[in-house]
Homo-oligomer: A and B are copies of this chain.
Amino acid sequence: MNRYKRKEDCPLTFALTLIGSKWRLPIIWALWKNKTLRYNELKRHVDGITNMVLSQSLKEMENQGIVVRKQFLEIPPRVEYSLTEAGEALIPSLESLAKWGKAMQVKVKNHV
């Protein structure tokens, strides 16, 4: 008895499609901590991410309204990324989730 005909209609599932893949949280976190980062700076903050995945993710997050891209017409090129208001609105939820995650980590450690 789901409230939603399609799973995609559930706001929670929808939220997870926005932040649930492997690199979304690290990207959001780096932007939150630094407010504004250039492409390669961001890449250095998100350790291990490839160009492919980073540029793809940024493009998607821009379309989804989580991230703003600001391009300067300079050479060498300069592009700055930051969170939108909607992106920042996500932070409290993430902090709440992180708190739960932390408690779970402790529990697992003590149990095993």
Judge whether A104 and B12 touch: CB under 8 Å: no
Contact A18:B93 (CB < 8 A) given known A11-B98, A99-B11, A111-B65: no
Contact among B7, B86, B107 with A26 in the assembled complex (CB-CB below 8 Å): B7
Identical copies in the complex: 2
Determine which of B13, B26, B64 lies in contact with A25 in the assembled complex, contact meaning CB atoms within 8 Å.
Answer: B13
Known contacts A20-B20, A86-B107, A93-B93; is A15 also within 8 Å of B100 by CB? Answer: yes
> Is A56 part of the binding interface, using a Cβ–Cβ cutoff of 8 Å?
no
Say yes or no: A25 contacts B16, CB within 8 Å.
yes
In the complex, what residues of B have CB within 8 A of residue A12's CB? 25, 29, 94, 97-98, 101
